[in-house]
């Protein structure tokens, strides 16, 4: 008992087990990443709270933490770095990968030698009621009469028996990839009559037993069809899926952060345009008011109304921007109290770079994407998993034939617990046959596995179709936004000329206030539409690159780079500044008849 207690108290601490789990899971992740991608990155799920005990982290601390009021200027690169470090969504994705690796450590551990040790001490007290009878016979002879008196007395006693026992057991077991198992057990039993009232003779029995058991299925459950082997296989494949999912999530997450960042810059540009428009409306009103003696009051009222409308538009756009900025802070994992300022030079770089082309052959892109898009690779492998499940459930329909063998040896009784006589070993070997007389449940499982297989088959073909649709839709969207950008650019140039001419004509009294207002409205729409079209084109291009598996996030400023060079067969880098000429409009009949 003392030895068992000492071992218990000297067991590994929770922090040791945590480090052990981390080391095992991290090694698995890095090894699988190396196998899949030919490279690996440092992987950790540690956060700034991980080194502290949960009981030490109080709600009051978290409340104060979210009240931070830092000020910082955030570039696109800084936004990506902050998101990786603070984003709740990103942290959860890492933890999902960690859990998959942790599950694999458990599946692998099942095939390593398993050591077990236990010790149980108990005391039993048995109270037994015992009756003692005493008979006394007295005979009196009086004359011819004989009287016999019998004096019977009974004494009730209690037999108090206290027995102590200690059973200790040490065993080791091993599972094999063949589906079999092997177990060796050493058990030690100590039985001691601590006190016997009536015999006064304490008895002790100390016996050790060594037993060996071997089990091996020969038909059902043999080898790769064994439940434990299948569990290990699936756990290993799940880690591969998790690594691919995480890598795709990282790309998708980065594209999302970049697109959100440029969407905010587009909103900032809209605010500036709205403010400039408001100032121009104020100036127009002031000019007409200065000529109030020569202008109709209705014209002054029109310009004043346009001024108020422009002011309202500006105020609303400011509110919308800061609402979107707060959402961006939540995405990054920053406290809402922090004041962040986005770097406008990123939008300037996009304007200077222009529309990065994405000349892509849809068929070739589809063929390459099938081999490179990570979620699709998972779908293909999961289709293979469903085939394996059918095989396993079909195996369960076979007869069961198991081989078993066991042997045991006890020490010399009653107290020679260290002395064994090999001649007294008990051993057995045999076969157990399970005839398939009732396989209803197994039949149902097998049929269900076939249905699941066909479901996976349909899902896989759906994934192929969705990929093709994603490529075609992405190319259409890209072309539509490319044309929209050039249309809005030309519309802006025209609107600028209209505003200039309307202003001059209004001052000369040759135009009405309504003409200037309409020109200014068109100018504002075109200004905002140009920026939105530019940012929208970049967003569509990045989504297309992500969708076909061509995105290379490792490139510096990857949102400005051409990712198609070397992606599809024969693809080469093209000029980043395409021809800005507008394409002619295709008549509907020509579109629908081709």
Q: What value does the mean pLDDT take over residues 520-547?
A: 92
**Residues present in the chain in total:** 594
Identify whether residues 359 and 486 lie together within a single domain. Answer: yes
Q: How confident is the model at residue 120 (pLDDT cuts 50, 70, 90)?
A: confident
Taking 90 as the threshold, does the pLDDT of residue 412 lie above it? Answer: no
Number of domains in the chain: 2
Q: CA-CA distance, 249 to 241, in Å (whole number)?
A: 12
Does residue 388 sit within a domain? Answer: no
C-alpha dist (Å) from residue 208 to 124, 166, 168, 212: 21, 12, 9, 14
In a domain, 568, yes or no: yes
* pTM (two decimals): 0.83
User: Is the predicted pLDDT of residue 193 greater than 60, yes or no?
Assistant: no
Of 561, 462, 551, which Cα lies nearest the Cα of 252?
551
The whole-number pLDDT of residue 149 equals 47
Per residue in 447-496, pLDDT (tens digit) is 999 999 999 999 999 999 999 999 999 999 999 999 999 999 998 999 88
- Residue bearing tokens 């039985």: 191
Q: What is the CA radius of gyration of the chain?
A: 42
Pick 44 or 298 by higher pLDDT: 44
Residues 122 and 243 in one domain: no
pLDDT digits (tens, 9 = 90+) for 346-371: 999 999 998 988 888 888 889 888 98
Domain span including residue 322: 230-376+454-593
Q: Are 355 and 491 in the same domain?
A: yes
**320 and 462 share one domain:** yes
Nearest to 376 by CA among 582, 124, 549: 549
268 and 137 together in one domain? no
User: Is residue 194 located within the same domain as residue 335?
Assistant: no
Rounded CA-CA distance 451/433 in Å is: 30
pLDDT in the model for residue 128: 60
Distance CA 261, CA 278 (A): 26
Confirm whether 353 is domain-assigned. yes
In this structure, the answer to whether residues 168 and 310 fall within a common structural domain is no
Residue 586 DSSP code:
P
511 and 573 share one domain: yes
Cα 96 → chain centroid: 3
Secondary structure class of 378 (helix, strand, coil): helix
d(CA 101, CA 238): 8
**494 and 576 belong to one structural domain:** yes
Q: String of b and e for 113-130 (b: at least 16 CB within 10 Å)?
A: eeeeeebeeeeeeeeeee
Instruction: Please tell me which residue, 3 or 123, carries the higher pLDDT value.
Output: 123
Question: CATH number, domain at 535?
Answer: 1.20.1600.10
Please state at what angle helix 227-290 crosses helix 76-86, rounded to 10 degrees.
140
Question: Within a domain: residue 563?
Answer: yes
pLDDT at 293: 57
Look at residue 397 and give its three-state secondary structure: coil
Q: Are residues 133 and 272 in the same domain?
A: no
149 plus 198 within the same structural domain = yes
Neighbouring C-beta atoms of residue 305, cutoff 10 Å: 14
Q: What is the average per-residue pLDDT within 152-166?
A: 59
At 97-114, the pLDDT tens digits run 999 999 999 999 999 998
In a domain, 357, yes or no: yes
My answer on whether 429 and 546 are in the same domain is no
Distance (Å, whole) CA 210 – CA 190? 15
* Average pLDDT of the chain to the nearest whole number: 84
> What tokens appear for 208 in the block?
């050790």
Cα separation of 311 and 321, whole Å?
A: 15
Report the pLDDT value the prediction gives residue 15, as an integer from 0 to 100. 86
In a domain, 52, yes or no: no
pLDDT in tens, 570-587: 554 444 444 455 567 766
In a domain, 9, yes or no: no
Residue linked to tokens 């490179």 = 372
């Amino acid at each position: 008992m003392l030895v068992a207690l000492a071992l218990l108290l000297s067991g590994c601490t929770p922090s040791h087990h945590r480090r052990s789990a981390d080391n095992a899971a991290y090694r698995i992740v890095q090894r699988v990443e190396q196998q899949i991608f030919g490279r690996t990155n440092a992987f950790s799920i540690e956060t700034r709270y991980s080194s502290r005990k949960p009981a030490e982290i109080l709600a009051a601390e978290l409340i104060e933490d979210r009240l931070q009021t830092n000020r910082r200027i955030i570039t696109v690169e800084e936004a990506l770095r902050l998101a990786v470090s603070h984003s709740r969504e990103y942290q959860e994705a890492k933890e999902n990968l960690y859990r998959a690796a942790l599950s694999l450590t458990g599946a692998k551990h099942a095939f390593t030698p398993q050591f077990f040790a236990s010790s149980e001490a108990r005391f039993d007290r048995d109270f037994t009621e015992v009756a003692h009878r005493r008979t006394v016979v007295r005979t009196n002879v009086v004359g011819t009469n004989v009287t016999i008196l019998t004096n019977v007395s009974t004494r009730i006693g209690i037999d108090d028996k206290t027995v102590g026992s200690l059973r200790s057991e040490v065993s080791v077991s091993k599972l094999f990839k063949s589906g079999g198992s092997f177990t060796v057990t050493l058990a030690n039993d100590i039985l001691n009559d601590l006190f016997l009232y009536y015999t006064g003779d304490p008895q002790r029995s100390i016996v050790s037993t060594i037993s060996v058991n071997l089990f091996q299925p020969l038909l059902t459950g043999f080898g790769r069809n064994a439940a434990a082997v299948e569990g290990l296989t699936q756990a290993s494949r799940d880690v591969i899926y998790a690594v691919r999912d995480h890598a795709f999530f990282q790309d998708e997450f980065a594209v999302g952060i970049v697109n959100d960042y440029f969407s905010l810059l587009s909103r900032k540009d809209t605010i500036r345009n709205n403010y400039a428009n408001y100032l121009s409306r104020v100036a127009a009103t002031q000019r007409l008011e200065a000529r109030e003696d020569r202008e109709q009051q209705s014209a002054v009222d029109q310009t004043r109304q346009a001024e108020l409308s422009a002011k309202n538009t500006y105020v609303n756009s400011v509110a919308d921007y800061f609402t979107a900025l707060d959402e961006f802070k939540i995405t990054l994992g920053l406290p809402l109290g922090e004041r962040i300022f986005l770097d406008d030079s990123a939008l300037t770089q996009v304007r200077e770079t222009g529309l990065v082309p994405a000349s892509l052959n849809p068929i070739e892109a589809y063929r390459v994407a099938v081999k490179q898009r990570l979620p699709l690779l998972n779908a293909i492998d999961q289709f293979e998993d469903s085939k394996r499940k059918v095989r396993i459930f079909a195996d369960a329909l076979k007869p069961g034939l198991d081989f078993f063998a066991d042997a045991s040896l006890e020490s010399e009784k009653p107290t020679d617990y260290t002395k064994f006589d090999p001649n007294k070993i008990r051993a057995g070997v045999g076969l157990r046959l399970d005839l398939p007389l009732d396989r209803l449940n197994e039949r149902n499982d097998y049929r269900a596995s076939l249905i699941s297989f066909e479901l996976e088959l349909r899902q896989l073909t759906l994934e192929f179709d969705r990929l093709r649709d994603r490529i075609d839709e992405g190319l259409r969207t890209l072309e539509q936004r490319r044309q929209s950008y050039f249309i809005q650019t030309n519309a802006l140039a025209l609107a600028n000329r209209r505003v200039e001419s309307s202003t001059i004509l209004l001052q000369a009294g040759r135009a009405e206030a309504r003409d200037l207002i309409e020109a200014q409205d068109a100018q504002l729409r075109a200004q905002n539409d140009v920026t939105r079209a530019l940012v929208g084109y970049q967003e569509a291009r990045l989504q297309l690159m992500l969708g076909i598996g061509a995105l290379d996030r490792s490139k510096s400023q990857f949102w400005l780079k051409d990712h198609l060079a070397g992606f599809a067969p024969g693809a080469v880098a093209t000029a980043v500044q395409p021809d800005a000429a507008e394409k002619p409009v295709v008549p509907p009949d020509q579109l629908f008849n081709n």
